[in-house]
Chain A
Amino acid sequence: MSARKILAVFRKEVLDSLRDRRTLFMMVLLPILLYPLLFIFVTQIQSAGLARLQQERSRVSAKGSLPEGLESLLRGDTSLVFCPSPDPAGDLAGRNIWAWLEWRNRGDSAVIYYDGAKEKSRLALSRLREALGLYRSGLQRRDLARAGLDTLLLEPFALRAENTAPPSRMGGMVLGILLPILLIVTMMMGAMYPAMDLTAGEKERGTMETILAAPVDKRDLFLGKFFTVTVIALITGALNLVSIMMTFSAGLVQLGAATGRMEFSLSPLSLALIFLSLLPLALFISAVLITVSLFARSFKDAQNLVTPVYLLLFLPTQIALMPGIQLNRLLALVPVANVTLLFKEILLNEYSWEMLLLVFFTNSALAFLAVMLSARLFGSEEVLLAEGKGWHLAFRRSQMAPSQTLPPSGALVLFALAMLLLFYAGGFLQIKFRYWGVLATLWGLILAPALLAAWYAKLDFRKAFHLAPFRPMSLAGTVVLCLGAAGLAAWVGALQTKLFPESLKMLEGLKDYLDLQKSGIGLLPGLFVLALSPGVCEEMLFRGVLLSSFKRKLPAWAAVSLVALLFAVIHLNLFRLVPTFLLGLYLTFIVYRTGSIYLSMLAHALNNGLALVLIYYPSLSARLPWLAGEAPFPALALLIFIALAAAGLTLISYDTRTRRA
């Protein structure tokens, strides 16, 4: 890959796109023109219409004879025109009147007939109601006076409602619904034309072969195009944001008169957060649109393909319109919908950092997957030259060349896939089926994808999964290291609880889960589910395919820390991030040095098993309260653990020094 060439492609494509009238229109002209038209004219027309409606008197009628007081009240009402008629129902249908009153049973009840589909009729209803209310309270007043009672009985206290939301929040509420949807839709519109133009358009105009014969790597070409589409999407979004804000602050004067004072302003922080959450979304949308357009042979073809995708992407924004809906952990995983809801919360200043990060990572993972897919397709000559209908060749297993390990890009795709599976299906399974769900997650969503990927890419299983024997000294080192590291992990956990007491609450829930006695699953089945299975399944993915892939292309320290980091990230728990990272670090180290995954499986199972056993026997944990974080950690224990860990590391290093040399 060459940054210079990516930049050259990017600059050319931007220039080319800016000269395309369709792109330019969507990107610049539409936002500048649309909102003034939409807001100012529509609100003007609406408020003018409303004012005229309010001024106009409502024609109403009645059936049967009304009491005299009521009739004179209706005739005297300046908002009504009372026109008696023999057939008021026909008049209402013929729109000669807008409502009519039926006086039944000599005044026991009254019915107002109106046409709910007509605004004028609804207005007549409320006016009639008001007049009848006046008439009724007049009667009550009269009767009370006759009985010699105080009229205060009618209204023992006065009531009024006051809006305490500051004007900025009112503005946030109104915009919170509109802005996210508009921003996302306009970003998609902005990305749509360049995405089609730079792929299908290029094929249609016959320039694809010209560029493929030039000395530019297909990946560089793809990235240049991809960044162009993303940047145009972001600029379109930004211009729309600015235009909406400007029109809105001008248009608010009129809306404010009707709904109370409103203000709209974005703090620099909110603006930065909006941009931050828009970025992965823009990447995702661009990659999806490019992917879809790549299948088309012509611009028109691309339009047909993109339209349903566009609607599919648009649909989730409607979730934000549902009343009372709020961003939660589950919705944070739904692309497009999550950003829509997050925006609303940012505008109302009600966001949480947890949701912000969750949304950001979900969309980043999805964007990454979409980009990899897109790049893969772009590398295929069948897709680029639109020949032989065989675009699916890019993904046929028969076209894969056998190899020892996955390429790092493939490894990252596998990781992102496993993480998303865990997000979407794993959480659901574990809530619904408890321990069976954990089992299904580990074997079905972590191990199975790793094995499938290895089969699909025709990997050498022994190399890719480090299925190699180990020597006794390495085994001894692993056990010693694991004991020391488990103790140190407890110390790190205790330290963290001291620094961030709130993390304790998060861990409480986890402890219930890990208490095999309380949950009734029993020690051995529990150890199988929570110690052995993670040991086998997670190791096969992380210390297997991922490590074997990364260690080929990266220096040792980078490969080991990357695997450990991904291992920590997939556990999806902010408060266990550091301990899990450390665990991942030494597990990866063991396999990196010994080349045998069996040892890290053992260490992983041992690590989990020790914690489970400790919780299972309360008498044991009562004797060692500091391990559970319930007493200060003794310095001696700390020293012993450090010594054990160091001894384990030394044993492994010593044993494998000869092997590596």
Chain B
Amino acid sequence: MIKTLGLGRSFWDPGLGEIQALLPLDLSIDKGEIFGILGPNGAGKTTLLRLLATVIKPTAGTALVNGFDVVRDQMPVKKSIGFLSGNTRLYGRLTPRELLRYFGQLYDMDGSAISARSRQIVQLLDMGDFFDQRIEKLSTGQTQKTSIARCLLHDPPVLILDEPTLGLDIMTSRTIIDFIRSSAMAGKTVIFSTHYMEEAELLCSRIGLLHRGRLMDADGLDGFRRKTGLSHLADIFMEYVGRQAEPARRNGKEGGTVS
């Protein structure tokens, strides 16, 4: 469902020069999977997900999302995904109804399809009370539901969620976690990033460990436990970070030879 082919991205900074935000990586995620990307701030999680969502363009390789190329077939990719991140906020001066109408038009849905699907979603997410209030007046939970509604409007087969629970209270996080679970059960592919270990342990069928732009490994929780002999994801992550750092340090001492 998602397949990256040497996908990488560098940025050019006037002061620092070329910065590798994401080193070329190959990754394959199957239909119905919940794939978690785990890593600290600045690991390249957001870059990876933005690349998959076609918000930015890769500087190396490409990726296939729902069979479409993120470089060449941007529009079909955009139509195949629902993208949610801390940076995908909503137009405060519109109501949820107006917002869904606007996005429906952008997804090439006609008027009757938009209202039918909106009715469905309002029921599903229990949005009836605030469907005609301006978004700027809504509570965090109501806003988050509206964001989910925007993601689901065009019924995409792939969901790309960048730290969807960041800064949310327990109740609202729960809405998101339920949403991820039910989406996977409905056969959607979910890729989401987080730096909450327990969230990843709870939800994911597989987890990718990302550190300093490098995908260190990707496996299920059981697989990682077997490989490292550790049980907690946090410990497993630190173990991998240590393995990464060692050759690098030796590298510095011994002048460039890596065994």
Given that A15-B98, A16-B94, A390-B14 are known contacts, is A214 also in contact with B89, CB under 8 Å in the complex? no
Q: Is B57 an interface residue (CB 8 A)?
A: yes
Contact A216 B106 (CB under 8 A): yes
Distance A206 CA – B135 CA, assembled complex (angstroms): 14
Given that A212-B55, A213-B55, A381-B57 are known contacts, is A206 also in contact with B106, CB under 8 Å in the complex? no
Distance A131 CA – B75 CA, assembled complex (angstroms): 88
Distance A205 CA – B91 CA, assembled complex (angstroms): 8
Which B residues touch A393, using CB under 8 A? 12
CB distance from A215 to the nearest CB of B (A): 4
Q: Which of A209, A213, A216 has the most CB of B within 10 A?
A: A213
Which B residues touch A206, using CB under 8 A? 86-89
Distance A19 CA – B98 CA, assembled complex (angstroms): 13
Distance A207 CA – B86 CA, assembled complex (angstroms): 10
Contact B150 A210 (CB under 8 A): yes
Question: Using an 8 Å CB-CB cutoff, how does the interface string of B78-100 with A read, 1 for contact, 0 for none?
Answer: 11010101111111111000100
Q: Is A387 an interface residue (CB 8 A)?
A: yes
CB distance from A379 to the nearest CB of B (A): 11
CB distance from B167 to the nearest CB of A (A): 13
Which B residues touch A214, using CB under 8 A? 78, 103, 106-107
Which B residues touch A20, using CB under 8 A? 93
Question: Using an 8 Å CB-CB cutoff, how does the interface string of B112-140 with A read, 1 for contact, 0 for none?
Answer: 00000000000000000000001000000
Which A residues touch B14, using CB under 8 A? 389-390
A388 touches which of B12, B85, B150 (Cβ 8 Å): B12
Q: Is A300 an interface residue (CB 8 A)?
A: no
CB distance from B22 to the nearest CB of A (A): 14
Q: Is A552 an interface residue (CB 8 A)?
A: no
Which A residues touch B13, using CB under 8 A? 388-390
A385 touches which of B53, B55, B89, B98 (Cβ 8 Å): B55
Which A residues touch B89, using CB under 8 A? 205-207, 210
Which residues in chain B, 29-74, are within 8 Å of chain A measured between CB atoms?
50, 53-57
CB distance from A528 to the nearest CB of B (A): 46
Contact B56 A385 (CB under 8 A): yes
Which residues in chain A, 1-43, are within 8 Å of chain B measured between CB atoms?
4-5, 8-9, 12, 15-16, 19-20
Distance A390 CA – B13 CA, assembled complex (angstroms): 7
Contact B81 A213 (CB under 8 A): yes
Which A residues touch B105, using CB under 8 A? 4-5, 8
B93 touches which of A19, A209, A381, A389 (Cβ 8 Å): A19
Distance A559 CA – B98 CA, assembled complex (angstroms): 43
Distance A200 CA – B98 CA, assembled complex (angstroms): 22
Distance A26 CA – B105 CA, assembled complex (angstroms): 30
Which A residues touch B75, using CB under 8 A? 215, 217
Which B residues touch A389, using CB under 8 A? 13-14
Which B residues touch A390, using CB under 8 A? 11-14
Q: Which of A206, A207, A212 has the most CB of B within 10 A?
A: A212
CB nearest to A7 among chain B residues: B105
Distance A385 CA – B88 CA, assembled complex (angstroms): 12
Can you report 27 A-B residue pairs in the complex whose CB atoms are below 8 A from each other?
Answer: A8-B106, A9-B106, A12-B91, A12-B94, A15-B98, A16-B94, A19-B134, A20-B93, A205-B89, A207-B88, A207-B89, A207-B91, A208-B87, A209-B50, A209-B85, A210-B83, A210-B90, A210-B150, A212-B54, A212-B55, A213-B54, A213-B78, A213-B81, A215-B79, A216-B106, A390-B11, A390-B12
Q: A209-B50, A390-B14 are in contact. List 11 more A-B contacts (CB 8 A).
A: A9-B106, A205-B91, A206-B86, A206-B87, A206-B88, A213-B81, A214-B106, A385-B55, A388-B19, A389-B13, A390-B13
- Residues on A facing B (Cβ under 8 Å): 4-5, 8-9, 12, 15-16, 19-20, 205-210, 212-217, 381, 385, 387-390, 393
